[in-house]
Amino acid sequence: MECEQKPVSMFVLFARLFSIVAKNLENEFGQKGLEVLAKSVKEFGVARGQDIARRAEAQGEDNSIGNYLKNYDMERSELFGYVTEYKDNKIYQEFTRCIFAETWMNAGEEKYGRIYCENIDPAIAEGFNKDLQCEHDNIMYKDKKCTFCFKIKE
């Protein structure tokens, strides 16, 4: 087995840990374990969103949609490929590269990655602003891209 010469991204390490936790929960508790994992991802996401709202507040900003991404808590590195468009009081994002999804797909663990991907962004948005809705129409595992639309509930 060959060792990598450079440090491994924290994103890759997170994805690997998530898969191990998911597999162990599934092996020990079956579907109920995966449901607990999804609930945990949602709780983690809401807490992150609340932290993002506090970051905005510390900058003298409110938790309106225009302040969401500018106060986001996760850095974006070259391991992500995406475009963001602000239009009609909505935020549209399209990701064509995601190190999380790549890690899970390379390991054949999309099943576990989907639990994270399908739950995290709506929960972060809700934590930031209870009226901020996240529509996640395309997903990397099936569509080779992820698309998001963030908007205030009507």
Q: Which domains can be identified in the chain, with CATH numbers?
A: 10-152 (3.30.1380)
Question: How confident is the model over 24-42, as a mean pLDDT?
Answer: 98
Q: Which residues pair with 104 in a beta bridge?
A: none
pTM value?
A: 0.92
Specify the pLDDT at position 112: 97
How far is the C-alpha of 70 from the C-alpha of 60, rounded, in Å?
13
Strand order, beta sheet including 90-98: 80-87, 90-98, 146-152, 132-138
Instruction: Render pLDDT for 16-32 as a digit per residue (tens, 0 to 9).
Output: 999 999 999 999 999 99
Closest CA to 87 of 17, 151, 43: 151
- Asked if residue 89 lies in contact with residue 152, where contact means CB atoms within 8 angstroms, the answer is yes
List strand residue ranges (DSSP E) for 1-129, in order. 80-87, 90-98
How far is the C-alpha of 140 from the C-alpha of 147, rounded, in Å?
9
How far is the C-alpha of 59 from the C-alpha of 43, rounded, in Å?
25
Question: How confident is the model over 36-59, as a mean pLDDT?
Answer: 98
Going by DSSP bridges, is the β-strand pair 80-87/90-98 parallel, antiparallel, or unpaired?
Answer: antiparallel
Query: Is residue 3 pLDDT above 80, yes or no?
Result: no
C-beta atoms surrounding 84 within 10 Å: 13
The token duo for 145 is 């891209």
Instruction: Render pLDDT for 59-110 as a digit per residue (tens, 0 to 9).
Output: 999 999 999 999 999 988 899 999 999 999 999 999 999 999 999 999 999 9
